[in-house]
Amino acid sequence: MAGRVEVLHDHFKDSKQKMVGVSGPNPFGDIKHPDNRPGEHPSEHAVTALHGFKDRMHGQFDAAAELMKSTGGALRDAARALRETDAAAKDSITVKDGSLDL
């Protein structure tokens, strides 16, 4: 179970690499503001918004990946504790047939 959860860590990291922003020339072209405001290009704002979105999503992917990694570790620790408890119980408890009859 822990291994399957930890695999999600790798899936989140892989997904993060697939989410890219705008690279190279502006794909939206040189769109002028409809009110002809000098220096304002809505296409540049779109690129900036996409970069901001990408950066925030990368942060979310990183957080999710770390959560899966720590969850896998916690599951491994819990399984180990259960095994140790079972082993200790086997060593310290002996029940003989009929010994618990009232």
Q: Distance between CA 58 and CA 56 in Å, rounded? A: 5
Which amino acid, residue 30?
Answer: D
The parts of the chain modelled with pLDDT lower than 50 are: none
pLDDT, residue 102, reads 56
pLDDT, residue 39, reads 65
Packing angle between helix 2-18 and helix 42-92, nearest 10 degrees?
170
Indicate the pTM of the whole model: 0.59
Residue ranges per structural domain of the chain? 1-21+44-78
